Amino acid sequence: MAFELPKLPYSTDAFANLGVSPETFEYHYGKHHNAYVVALNGLVEKNPDLQGKSLEELIKLSYNKPELVPVFNNAGQILNHNQFWESISPTGGKIPAKLEAKIIADFGSVEAFKEQFKQAGVTQFGSGWAWLILTPEGKLKVTKTANAVTPVATGEGKVLLVYDVWEHAYYIDFRNRRPDYISNFLDKIANYEYAEANLLSA
Ligand code: MN3
């Protein structure tokens, strides 16, 4: 059973005034994300040991295995993008009450949380991802990863919210202004409802 590019939960022009142009969706979703799906399906087809496994299983079994780097990179990038598209919403930017209370308990304030989450992406050298996770100890934590690495691989915690800091995520709309792209995400489009749902289902 082949992996598929998931349907987006909104139209590609829904963020036209919110910092994510239809052209960005055309490239980021239609070309980059799709290419990872096509590549992983090709790799799985050629290797019976990989067949019948979920993305999470493929990520865990290929992590830090030199002979499975392409499997890890493509499986990781599919899952990371699946989570990223869920992490934005045209009606985003508002933090619901239960998540807000947890943020204040674990970071001190919403402002402190946003500053930490922003700095994670600003300081990620090169390509990667910034994450809000729930640690096995039950605390919210901000973390960052390089390239295709995900907390699913490292076991650092459950993913609540993520944004992409690969240049392909922001170069069409923000050029080299990564900090502005991140502020736009945090203040206008971050799907904090999705993060809260992930928190409550943990
Ligand atoms: Mn991307």
Which of 1-5, 53-57, 66-70, 132-136 shows the lowest per-residue confidence on average (mean pLDDT)? 1-5
**Do the domain assignments include residue 7?**
no
The pTM score is 0.98
Which whole number is the average pLDDT over 123-151?
A: 98
The CATH number of whichever domain residue 52 belongs to comes to 1.10.287.990
Do the strands 158-164 and 140-146 form a parallel or antiparallel pair, or are they unpaired? unpaired
Ligand 1 centre to CA of 77 (Å) is: 7
Ligand 1 centre to CA of 147 (Å) is: 9
pLDDT at 1 over 80: no
d(CA 18, CA 36): 26
Ligand 1 centre to CA of 159 (Å) is: 16
100: Cβ contacts below 8 Å, ≥ 6 apart: 110
**Do the domain assignments include residue 2?**
no
12: Cβ contacts below 8 Å, ≥ 6 apart: 22, 25, 26, 29
End-to-end Cα distance, the chain: 28
Ligand 1 centre to CA of 166 (Å) is: 6
Confidence of residue 197 (pLDDT cuts 50, 70, 90): very high
Residue at a domain's end among 67, 86, 105: 86
State the pLDDT at residue 132. Answer: 99
Residue at a domain's end among 56, 86, 116: 86
- Dmax over CA atoms of the chain, in Å, equals 50
The CATH number of whichever domain residue 171 belongs to comes to 3.55.40.20
Residue at a domain's end among 53, 86, 119: 86
State the pLDDT at residue 66. Answer: 98
Q: Within this chain, do residues 65 and 126 fall inside the same structural domain, yes or no?
A: no
Q: Within this chain, do residues 111 and 176 fall inside the same structural domain, yes or no?
A: yes
pLDDT at 116 over 80: yes
Q: Within this chain, do residues 106 and 185 fall inside the same structural domain, yes or no?
A: yes
**Do the domain assignments include residue 55?**
yes
Ligand 1 centre to CA of 169 (Å) is: 5
Ligand 1 centre to CA of 140 (Å) is: 24
d(CA 87, CA 9): 11
**Do the domain assignments include residue 127?**
yes
Q: Which amino acid would we find at residue 89?
A: S
Percent of the chain with pLDDT over 70: 100
Q: Within this chain, do residues 115 and 194 fall inside the same structural domain, yes or no?
A: yes
What are the pLDDT digits (tens) for 66-104? 999 999 999 999 999 999 999 999 999 999 999 999 999
Q: What is the mean pLDDT of the chain?
A: 98
d(CA 189, CA 49): 40
The number of folded domains in the chain is 2
Q: Within this chain, do residues 134 and 197 fall inside the same structural domain, yes or no?
A: yes
d(CA 37, CA 142): 27
Q: Within this chain, do residues 116 and 191 fall inside the same structural domain, yes or no?
A: yes
Ligand 1 centre to CA of 165 (Å) is: 7
Which whole number is the average pLDDT over 141-165?
A: 98
Ligand 1 centre to CA of 164 (Å) is: 6
Ligand 1 centre to CA of 108 (Å) is: 31
**Do the domain assignments include residue 11?**
no
Q: Within this chain, do residues 115 and 175 fall inside the same structural domain, yes or no?
A: yes
Ligand 1 centre to CA of 101 (Å) is: 30
Which residues span the domain enclosing 74? 22-86
Residue matched to tokens 């290929």 = 62
Ligand 1 centre to CA of 82 (Å) is: 10
Q: Within this chain, do residues 141 and 50 fall inside the same structural domain, yes or no?
A: no
Confidence of residue 188 (pLDDT cuts 50, 70, 90): very high
Ligand 1 centre to CA of 96 (Å) is: 26
